[in-house]
Amino acid sequence: MDLKTYLATAERGTATRLAAFLHVSPSYLSQMAHGTAPISEKRCVAIEKWTQGDVRRQDLRPVDWREIWPELDPDFVATKRLASSDDTQPPVGRPPLDCGESSK
């Protein structure tokens, strides 16, 4: 959900409380909600947490969220999991290391 919709459908006083939480004026929060003021990466995370995920970072920064938070992209996570899975497997068929001890 976008911030504008969230604020329009929330109970009275929500915008004032969120603005106070973000340390911005209600007017500036309104500008962010309407897309006339930028929303910093830090504020995106704060808004997502404050709204308990109703307003997501991806909704607040639809153009560049993949570059900022690649871990939120399911394709990135799947690719990373596949790439790292082979690296963590022990080698197969290798003889034990000789530590220099000779058998008597």
pLDDT tens for 55-81 read 999 999 999 999 999 988 888 655 655
- Show the tokens assigned to 49: 């947490």
Q: Token pair 């939480």 is at which residue?
A: 21
User: What pTM was computed for the model?
Assistant: 0.71
Q: Mapping DSSP to helix (H, G, I), strand (E, B) and coil, where does residue 14 land? A: helix
Predicted confidence band at 39 (pLDDT cuts at 50, 70, 90)?
very high
Q: What share of the chain is helix, strand, coil (3-state, %, to 5)?
A: 60, 0, 40
Q: How far is CA 7 from CA 49, 57, 75, in A?
A: 15, 16, 31
3-62 belongs to CATH 1.10.260: yes
Question: What are the residue ranges spanned by the domains of the chain?
Answer: 3-62
Provide the Cα torsion 39, 43, 44, 49; round to 10°.
-150
